[in-house]
Structure 1
């Protein structure tokens, strides 16, 4: 496998709209297209093929090939095509390569079909903003759109700490510094401990993975910075529990209070197949900070209590639960009713709302 052959395989994926490209020994190249894994009609790759691909994208002198790591993350670009986030892994004596497609152009909120409340977060000046969801559901792209909106609209110093760097930000109104873990800094913690001394206005942390990162993000938000980060969690209520759960039990009540004061917004994402099968679009749960929300976070309210507050703030504030957005997406013909029920927090409530909208009955909604 040479560079030209690799570029041909990557070009095929990008042109077909793949979000991820898989190279595994014993299988043909595979492409995740609109959520499904599609196998190319090519010969299976050999162990030599996948090792060649790995060396091409990460370099033969990396710690991965020196035997110092069993997994590795790296950024890779093909001029005129796309950037890629690369993950290398070892399995049964061979190397696997998974490449996430990262477009050169950062999409706008409109292109991403995100609610207006998400776009409004670009005007937040301080505090903590979290974008959450399972892997591959658009967290990185949404965060990049937020940062690009800041970059276009005001003169700020933006520092990103990523593993690896994904989207590249062009020079516009803001000064943007992008630091990659493993290349520019030893760890998220190391970079975060020094970032406050770098005069930032906005700090983006690729992911909150542990107590140390969560603590420093809270501290930075408390001192007047805007901190934007992500969590691998399903929805808003579980994300709050996950964040607090990163701390020892004897600290959690205090953390709830600090989180209540600093958290400005949380956006949870699920990418769903469009009704016409032409692509994916997000269902979004959006929570904005209000006094009632702060009280619920501080007191450790139940998931249902928090969801009720989110749903009640839809008209005035633009908040919404997943179920509210799913109903809207069905009503506007963008997703199917079956898909909405499958991804709903409360499927029976979504089905009932759709039945009422259609005037009392629909054979498609019986279950």
Structure 2
């Protein structure tokens, strides 16, 4: 391929989309790097980035307000679109006195839920009328895509008002049977807490909170779910037990019993997910843990025993539940991912090995 100039962001974006990369990393002294099937690979047809290259790209991607934030805080999040290519989430940060840039590639078209390879039980969460549904996982695990597909399903099937609060907006939703209003932090509201304080006065049926970041955000999400709204949000946790712990730990000890009771009442499900390279390294495969809020699950949360949730999940197949390790073992058995990859990702390696031994 022809050489791509280090300050030609559009050419980099076009090539990255063509190669089905998920991310682009630009840093001084290194060639542009693409994340392909979870591995970083250099853009061989380019030269190492200079300080001027990253500064020029940063200035081109940000308006004056965002540039001021970058200069003051040393980091800023934003997003932008390119016709025919897609939408891009960008994080620009300072390192060693220069700018470094991470770009996440989002397609314009929201993937249909059935194309994602996720368990059908997750689709049921989109058909609830109220409650709290959490999609969890580390950065880059596909949480935003899962949520976007669920919101799109609601948009196609129901006549309701959906409000999203995101930082930044990743997927753009068109109005279908529902109306979908999307608020971006920094553009439409100064913070999550400010946006959420007024959200119940905006007559929503469904609320998407990009991330439950602090005590106030969690409290508003619980209250919204308790007052008859369907609330979706994310946490950077792995597994239902750790997710419950994280929510409770946001609050001081004298409030935790009340929050446990509230969470036990409103929680409808927790989905934890990862993206794992396929056995032939040709694509990424979603691996999930699903917990459905059965009466037994609610009791454990109310009694402050989240460490016992894993046992409920492992034996809850009739309710649509499964553990991350069980899903990993199933994908290994089908030959979709390598056993070594499954073992390295397993939460309980001994349990995973027992599942594998039963199959082979």
Q: Distance in 1 between matches of 2:336 and 2:123?
A: 20
Q: How far off is 1:65 after superposition? A: 6.5
1:16 pairs with one of 19, 30, 35: 19
Mapped pair 1:40 → 2:43: yes
Assess, with a 3 A threshold, how the Cα gap between structure 1 residues 65 and 320 changes in structure 2: closer, same or farther. closer
2:109 pairs with one of 80, 105, 108: 105
Aligned to 2:326: 324
Assess, with a 3 A threshold, how the Cα gap between structure 1 residues 254 and 47 changes in structure 2: closer, same or farther. same
Q: CA RMSD in A?
A: 1.6
> What SS does the aligned partner of 1:320 have?
coil
> What SS does the aligned partner of 1:68 have?
helix
2:289 pairs with one of 285, 289, 301: 285
> What SS does the aligned partner of 2:90 have?
strand
Q: How far off is 1:182 after superposition? A: 0.4
2:208 pairs with one of 170, 189, 204: 204
Contact residue 27 and residue 44 of structure 1 kept, 8 A: yes
Aligned to 1:31: 34
Q: How far off is 1:66 after superposition? A: 7.4
TM-score normalised to structure 1 length = 0.94
After superposition, what is the alpha-carbon deviation per residue over 1:81-132, rounded to whole angstroms, capped at 9, x for unaligned?
A: 0100110101112111111011111112222110011111110110101000
Mapped pair 1:347 → 2:349: yes
Aligned to 2:313: 310
TM-score normalised to structure 2 length = 0.96
Mapped pair 1:251 → 2:255: yes
Q: Distance in 1 between matches of 2:357 and 2:32?
A: 44
Aligned to 1:96: 100
Gaps of 5+ in 2: none
After superposition, what is the alpha-carbon deviation per residue over 1:14-52, rounded to whole angstroms, capped at 9, x for unaligned?
A: 111111111111111111111111111121111110011
Aligned to 1:362: none
Q: Distance in 2 between matches of 1:62 and 1:132?
A: 28
Q: Distance in 1 between matches of 2:358 and 2:71?
A: 61
> What SS does the aligned partner of 2:262 have?
helix
Q: How far off is 1:59 after superposition? A: 2.7
Q: How far off is 1:219 after superposition? A: 0.6
Aligned runs of 1:45-194 on 2, under 5 Å? 45-60=49-64, 62-64=66-68, 67-194=71-198
Q: Distance in 2 between matches of 1:63 and 1:280?
A: 35
Paired residue total: 356
Contact residue 63 and residue 69 of structure 1 kept, 8 A: no
Q: Distance in 2 between matches of 1:292 and 1:127?
A: 17
Q: Distance in 1 between matches of 2:227 and 2:204?
A: 11
> What SS does the aligned partner of 1:7 have?
helix
Aligned to 1:234: 238
Q: Distance in 1 between matches of 2:185 and 2:41?
A: 32
Gaps of 5+ in 1: 359-367
Q: Distance in 1 between matches of 2:321 and 2:342?
A: 19
Q: How far off is 1:4 after superposition? A: 8.7
Contact residue 78 and residue 168 of structure 2 kept, 8 A: yes
Contact residue 6 and residue 49 of structure 2 kept, 8 A: no
Assess, with a 3 A threshold, how the Cα gap between structure 1 residues 65 and 248 changes in structure 2: closer, same or farther. closer
Q: Distance in 2 between matches of 1:279 and 1:272?
A: 8
Q: Distance in 2 between matches of 1:71 and 1:203?
A: 28
Contact residue 245 and residue 306 of structure 2 kept, 8 A: no
